Structure 1
Amino acid sequence: MHGLEGRRPAARSSGTPGRSRRVLTFQPIPARRLWLVYLLLAAGLGGLALRLAWVQLVQGNELLTRARAVQTQTISPLGRRRPIVDRQGRLVALDEERFTLWAHPRYFAFPGDDIGRLRSPLDVARKLSAVLALPMADLVRSLDGRKSGVKLATDLDPETAQRVRNLGISGLDLEAYPQRVYPQGGLFANVVGFLNLERVAQAGLEQSRDRDLRRHEATRSLRRGADGTPLPDGLRAGVLYGDDLRLQLTLDARLQQVAQLALSKQVKQWQAKRGVALVMDVRNGELLALASTPTYNPNKFWSYKPGLFREWSVQDLYEPGSTFKPINLAIALQEKAIDPAGKVSDTGQLTIGGWPIFNHDRKGNGVIDFPTVLQVSSNVGMVQAMRRVKPTRFWHWLHTLGIDSTPDTDLPGAQAGQLKTLEVFRTQPIEPATAAFGQGFNLTPLKLVQLHAMLANGGRLVSPHITRGLRSGEDLATAPPASGLQLFRPEITQTVLNWMETVVEKGSGKGVRIPGHRIGGKTGTAQKAENGVYIPGARITSFVAHLPINDPRYVVLVVVDEPKGGNAYGSTVAVPVARQIIEALLVIEKIPPTRPTAAAAPNTANKPKRT
C-alpha cells in the first residue's frame, strides 16, 4: 500500500500538444500508524462489549422493570360487591354503575372540526348544560381559566353518561365507579347496614359479612405493543374470572313491610321511644321479619344520627317481665316441681326476704290453676309456683338456657344477657322470686324470641339467623332442616302452649284472636330499669304469640319501649301490632284454618285485659 507522498508536474506528451498528465507516487504507511488504528478499533469494540455486558447482566432487571412499566397498564379492581336479596329474591342491596365527568379544556373539539381547532368553554357549556341539567353559567365558571382535570359532575347515572358520550366532544372523560344502592330504603336498614362514601362498610351485614360480600376481583396487568395494541400475555390464570353470587336473607320483604308500618304507627300513637317486631320460624331459627323503629334510609345515611345505625333488639338488654312466665312454668314442669293439673294460692301480695311483691292490680285471684296464672298474669301465683323449684336448679336452668351468654346468631353485635351469680341467687330469696315473673335479670328481644321458639318446637333451642348464605345467579336456597339442642321434653312444651292458648281465648291476648286459627300468646308490661335502678313511670310493653298451636311453626314478638299514657300495657300497645303481623303471616305462608270459623268468637266480643 502506498500513500500520496507528493505531487510533481508530469511531462508533456509529444503526441498530444497542449495537454498534461499527473503522476502520483505512493509511499508506504508506517507500521506504528496501523497499530494505532488497530488498537483504537479494538478498544472501541471492547468498550461496546463491556457496555453490552453491563446492560444485560447488571442493569438487565432494572431496565426490564422500566420497560414493563411503560408497556404494561395496571388495572386495579373497583371493589364491586355482591347483591343482597330477601328470601324470595327481591333486591335489598346492589351495586349500580355511576360516573364522574372530567373536563380537559385544552382538548375541546366537536365532531367534524378541523384538526387543531380548539373550542371555547362557552361552546362546550352550551351543549352540556341541558344534558347535565346544570346552569350554563356555572359550567363556564368552572371551566374558565383551567386547562385540564376539571370535575364537572359526579354520581351520574348510566343514561346521563351515555347522553354525554353521544355528544362526541373531545376533552370530556367519564370515570366509572360502583355505588351501593338500597332499593328497599329503610325497610332493611337495621340489619343490612350501609357503606359510607368511601365504600367502607359501617354497620349491619355489610360490615359483619364484608368479606363474603366482596366480589372476586384481581388486579389486572395488561401489556401493550408499541402501537398501543393490547397483548394477550401477562394475564394470570383466573384473573378475568367473575362471580354472580348473591347473599340471600331469610327475611321476607312483604312481611317486613307490614311489621314496619304497623310498628311505626303504634310507636307514634303512643309516643314511644322505639319498638321492634320479630317473626321466627321455630323449626330452624330463620327470622322472617325483624322490623325496628325508628329507622333510617341507608341511601342518605348522612342525614341521620349515628345512634340509629345499630339494631337495639340484638344489642340492648331489658327485663322481659310477664312474657318470660311461660318459660319459667316449663322449667318447673321439667323439674317436676309442679303438677300440670295443680293450683296455687294467689293472695294478691306477699313478702319475700323483707321485700313486698304485688300483682299488677294488687288484687288476689284466690286458688287458681296455671292456665289462669297466665291469663291474669299473676306475679304472686308465679312466685308460689317457682318456690317449688330449688334456687340452685332455677339458676342452673336460666344459665343453661343461655340468659348470660351470647346467642349463636349471624346477626351482628348480638349481646349476652345479665344474670345474678349463683351465690346471690341461692342466698337472697328475693332474686329467684323476682325472676319468677321475669324481672331481676336482663336479655335481648332476640334471646326472648329464641326461648319462645324452643317452647313452640318441642323443646329444641335453635339458633336465630337472618341469612341463608351465598347463592349463584337467580338460584334461591331452600329452608334448612329442623335443628337445635333438645332441652325440654316435648310433652312439657305442648302443655305450656295449651296454657298460652287460653290467654288468647280468655285472657289479655284476646286482641289477636282470628276466627279459625289456634293462637297462643302472653302479654307483658315490665318496669324499665337503668343502671340497676327502676325509672319511675317508664315501662316496656310486649306480646309474644305462637301459631298455630296444633302444629307450631312461628313465633311473633313485639316490644314497644316507653309508651306514654296511663293505659299503656302489652295488651293495648303491643297486641294490635302483633295481630296485623299475624294476619299477614297467615296469608303469606298460606296457613290454613285449623277449626271451623264459627267456633271462634268475634275479636271485638271482649275487651283486652291489662297486664
Structure 2
Amino acid sequence: MRQGRPGRKRAGRERVSRPGSSRRGRNGEVLNLPRGDRRPRTGGRSAGRPSSRASGTSRKHVGPRRLPLVVLAVVLVGLLLGGRAAYLSVVQFEDFQALASENVSAEDLGRRGDILGSDGRELATSIQASKIVAAPYQVENPAKAAGRISGVLGDSGPGMQEIENSLTARDGDGGLAGYSVVAEEVAPEKVLEVEDLGIAGISTEPDAVREYPHGALASQLIGYLGDYRNAFGGVEAGYNDALSSGQDVDLTLDVAVQQQLQESLDDAVSDYDAKGGVGLVMKVDSGEIVGLANSPSYDNNDFAQAPAKEQRNRILTDPYEPGSTFKAFTMAAALEEGSVSPEDSFSVPDSLKVSGVTINDSHEHATERMSPAEILQESSNVGTTKVALELGGKKLSQYIQRFGFGETTGIDLAGEAAGSVPPYSEWSGVSIGNIPFGQGISVTPLQLAAGYATLANGGFEVEPHVAEQSETSGKGGKGDRVISGETSDIVRGMLQSVVDDGSGGYAQIPGYSVAGKTGTSEKIDPETGAYDDSYITSFVGFAPADDPEYLTLIAVDEPQDSMWGEKVAAPAFQEIMSFTLSYFNVAPDRPDYEAPRLSGSPERFDEDGLPGYPDAATGDYPAPNGRKQGGGGG
C-alpha cells in the first residue's frame, strides 16, 4: 500500500482559526472565554487612588504578617491560571479535532463508491489508511519533531522540511495554527509507530487511499481522484455525486476486452512508430461501450507523472477530419432519398473538377464504370462526389446533422467535443466536392463510431455510454430513426463488400462476415491552416455483417512508413474484433469462410506501402502508381 506520497501533503491547511475571545464547542455553539478581571483605568492610574508621588507621601509596605498571605495568593492564582491553560490546551485541541472530524466525516471519511467492470472486477476502489495531523501551537520543538516523524515515514512520506512546515503552519491572524495535515495515506503500521513517538500536538485521523488495481487499464475512461477529493475526468468526475455518496458505479466495460483492445492498439502504434492512437468496442444496438482505449496510456496510481495530453480521453475530446470513413454516410443519405440506387452505374475518372478545384482519387486509373458498392470498395473520392452531386448539398447537410455530427453524442463522460460541421449556408462551391468524403468537417472518433452503429443497427441513433443502464446513468437503448431499415441493409451489404472484395481486406475474420471502411485523412497544420504531410489512418467496422452485434474503431495518429487504413488500422481491428466475437460466444455466420486475404493471397501493398486493387480477371493485386491527393483515400 502506498503511504504518504510526496506532493499529496496538505501543509498548513487550516480548518478553524486559533482561539481568541471565543471558540466553538464540540456541538458548534459559541463559547465566551474569560479574559481576566480588569479594573477600569483613568489617566493611566486606578480611579480613586491618589498617586504617592503627587501627594508626596511615602508608599505603604507590606508588613511581615501580610507577606505569607500575599505569597499564598500568588501561588493559588498561578496554579489556577496554569490549570486553566492546561485545560484549554487539551480541550481546545480536542475541539479542533472534533471540528475537523465533523468537516471530514461526510467527505474524506465517508466511503467512496467503487468503479466496477461489467464482470465485477474493481477498476477503482478506496482502501482504509490514516493521516497524521498536528496542532502546531502545541508542538514544542518543530524541527526535532519533524525529524522523528520523517524517520518513521521514510521515503513513503513527505520530506522533513515539508513536515516542519506543517508543524509551524500559521493561521489567518499570523499565530500558530490549530490544525494542520502532516501526511496522508499512511499505512497502519506507520501510524502506530508515529503514535508511539508520543509527540505533543501530534495525532492521527482515519483516511482513505484511492487505488486503481489495474494500473494503466482504461485510465482515461476511469479518471482520477486527487487531493481534497477533487475528481479529474472520466467516471470519477462524471459520476462524482454517486461515488461520493457511497454508491458503486457498474460499467459496461469488460476488463478482458479492454486488455486486448489496449494491446492491439499499442502494437499498431508501436509497429508504425505512430504518435498515438485510439480504439473503441461498442454494442451496435445499445451504445454500451465494452472497451475504450487511448495510446499511450498512463497509470492513475501515478497520475501526477502523466503528461496532460495523455490524460485526455482523446476518443471524445479530439476531433479530426474523418476522411474516407465518412463516405458511407454520403452513400446512405443518397440511397435513403432515392437519389441513387444500388443498380446505378457511374462513370468514374481518376480526377474531377468542382468549382475550379481538382478532386483526385488516391491512385491513377482509367475511367471506369462503378456501381455505388464499387465506389465504396475502391474508396473513390471522385465516385463519392458524383453520388453527392446527385443528392445535392442541402440534403447532404441535413443528413450529416441527422447522423449526429456537429453535436455531442451525450456520452456520460465530461469533456466531449462536438466537432465542426459548417451549416449549409456557409458551404462554398467546392464543399460538395470535399465534404462527401470527409474533408472540411471534423468529428470525434466517438461520433464516428455512433454514426456507424446507426448504419449497422437498422437505422437508429444510439447514445454511447460507459455505465450500466440504471437510475444512475439513465442511458441505453435505441433512439430516433435516422434511416430506414432497408437503407441500413443495403449499406451493410456495401460495407461488407469493402472487406470481402475491396480496400478493407485485412479486416477479414475466418467464419464471420465483416463490414467496414478504411480511412486516411490528412492533418491540418494549426499554424498555417493548410494540409501537411501527416495523416490519421483508421478502420471502423462491425460484425457479423448480416446481424451486427459489435462495432470496433481503430485510429492511428501519424503512422510512419504507411498512411493506409487497410495496412495500419485494419489488422488491429481484425485482432480485437476476432477476440470480442469469440469471447462473447457470437456464433460464426459463415463457418466455411476462410478469409482469403489472410490465407495466402498476393501482397496487398507495393514496396512503397501503396495499395493495389485486384484484377477482375485474375484476382491479383497489381501495385499502381500512387499519388498524394486531398485526403479521403482509403
Give 1:156 shift: 2.2
Q: Greater Rg, structure 1 or structure 2?
A: 1
Q: Corresponding residue for 1:213?
A: 243
**For residue 174 of structure 2, what is the aligned residue in structure 1?**
none
Equivalent residue number for residue 539 of structure 2: 543
Structure 1 residues 603 and 164: CA distance shift in structure 2, 3 A = same
Q: CA distance change for structure 1 residues 455 and 562 in 2, over 3 Å: closer, same or farther?
A: same
Residue 118 (structure 2) aligned to one of 87, 104, 111: 87
> Which AA in structure 2 matches 1:412?
A
* Selected match of 2:530 from 530, 534, 539: 534
For the pair 1:516 / 2:514, whether they are aligned, the reply is no
Match of residue 464 from structure 1: 464
1:489 maps to 2:519: no
Question: How does the TM-score come out when normalised to structure 2?
Answer: 0.70
Which residue is equivalent to 1:454? 454
Paired position in structure 2 for 1:304: 306
Question: In 2 relative to 1, CA 522–68 (structure 1 residues): closer, same or farther, beyond 3 Å?
Answer: farther
Give the equivalent residue in structure 2 for 1:118.
Answer: none
Q: Which residue of 1 aligns with 2:341?
A: 339
- Cα distance per residue 1:298-318 (max 9 Å; x no partner): 211221222222212212211
2:573 paired residue among 569, 574, 578: 578
Instruction: Tell me which residue corresponds to 1:360.
Output: 362
Is the contact made by 2:329 and 2:400 (CA closer than 8 Å) also made in structure 1? Answer: no
| Percent identity over paired residues | 29
Whether 1:191 and 2:221 are equivalent positions in the alignment is yes
Matched letter for residue 157 of structure 1: A
Q: Which runs of 5+ in 2 are unaligned?
A: 1-24, 34-90, 169-177, 606-610, 612-633
Provide closer, same or farther for how the CA distance between residues 164 and 516 of structure 1 changes in structure 2, counting only shifts above 3 A. same
Does residue 1:591 correspond to 2:586, yes or no?
A: yes
Q: Secondary structure at the match of 1:539?
A: strand
1:131 is displaced (CA, Å) by: 9.1
| CA deviation after TM superposition for structure 1 residue 470, in Å | 6.9
Distance 1:417 1:152, change over 3 A: closer
| Residue matched to 1:182 | 212
Equivalent positions of 1:274-285 (< 5 A) are 274-285=276-287
Give the residue type in structure 1 aligned to 2:551: V
Q: How far apart in 2 are the matches of 1:151 and 1:446? A: 42
The amino acid that maps onto 1:449 is A
- For the 8 Å contact 1:247–1:470, the answer to whether it is kept is no
Shift of 1:64: 11
Specify the alignment match of 2:58 in structure 1. Answer: none
The SS at the match of 1:605 is: coil
Within 5 Å, which residues of 2 pair with 1:108-127?
none
The unaligned stretches of length 5 or more in structure 1 are 1-60, 109-120, 216-242
Which of 321, 324, 327 lines up with 1:322 in the alignment? 324
Where 1:484 maps in the other structure, the secondary structure is strand
Pair 1:558–1:164, CA change in 2 (3 A): same
User: 2:436 maps to what in 1?
Assistant: 436
1:452 offset after TM fit, Å? 0.2
Does residue 97 in structure 1 map to residue 159 in structure 2?
A: no
Amino acid of the residue matched to residue 549 of structure 2?
A: R
Looking at structure 1, the residues matched to 180 and 424 of structure 2 have their Cα atoms a distance apart, in angstroms, of 69
SS of structure 2 residue aligned to 1:467? coil
Amino acid at match of 2:502: G
Which letter does structure 1 place at the counterpart of 2:299? N
State the AA in 2 paired with 1:559. A
CA 268–66 in structure 1, closer or farther in 2 if over 3 Å, else same: same
**Alpha-carbon displacement from aligned partner over 1:561-600 (angstroms, at most 9, x marks no partner):** 11122x2211111112112211220122111111223554
Question: What one-letter code is carried by the residue in structure 2 that aligns with 1:460?
Answer: F
Number of residue equivalences: 498
Residues 501, 521 of structure 1: 8 Å contact kept? yes
The residue aligned with 1:231 is none
- Helix, strand or coil: the match of 2:433? helix
Pairs within 5 Å for 1:91-170:
91-101=122-132, 154-158=184-188, 160-161=190-191
- Give, in whole Å, the separation in 1 of the partners of 2:489 and 2:28: 77
Displacement of 1:85 in angstroms is 1.0
The Cα of 1:257 is off from its aligned counterpart by 1.4
Deviation at 1:210, TM superposition (A): 2.1
- 2:502 aligned residue (496, 507, 531): 507
Q: CA deviation at 1:410?
A: 1.2
Pair 1:163–1:65, CA change in 2 (3 A) = closer
Paired residue secondary structure (2:579) = helix
- In the TM superposition, what whole-angstrom CA distance separates every residue of 1:523-581 from its partner, at most 9, and x where no partner exists? 1111112458333211110001111112111111111111122x221111111211221
Taking the aligned partners of 2:284 and 2:253, their CA distance within structure 1 comes to 14
**How far did 1:482 drift?**
3.4
Is the 1:248–1:471 Cα contact (8 Å) retained in structure 2?
Answer: no
Shift of the alpha carbon at 1:66?
Answer: 5.2
The alpha carbon displacement at 1:127 in A equals 13
Secondary structure, aligned partner of 1:497: helix
Shift of 1:174: 3.1
Residue deviations 1:384-432 (CA, integer Å, cap 9, x gap): 112110221111111222222222221211121212232233xx33101
* Counterpart among 251, 254, 265 of residue 253 in structure 2: 251
Task: Give the conservation status (yes or no) of the 8 Å contact 1:250–1:286.
Answer: yes
Q: 1:162–1:383: structure 2 CA closer, same or farther, 3 Å change rule?
A: same
Q: Contact conserved, 1:330 with 1:496, CA < 8 A, in 2?
A: yes
CA RMSD of aligned residues (A): 3.8
Are 2:498 and 2:515, in contact at CA under 8 Å, matched by a contact in 1?
yes
Alpha-carbon distance change, 168 to 423 in structure 1, aligned in 2, over 3 angstroms: closer
**Structure 1's 156 and 601: CA in aligned 2 closer, same or farther, altered over 3 A?**
same
More displaced stretch, 555-564 vs 302-311:
302-311
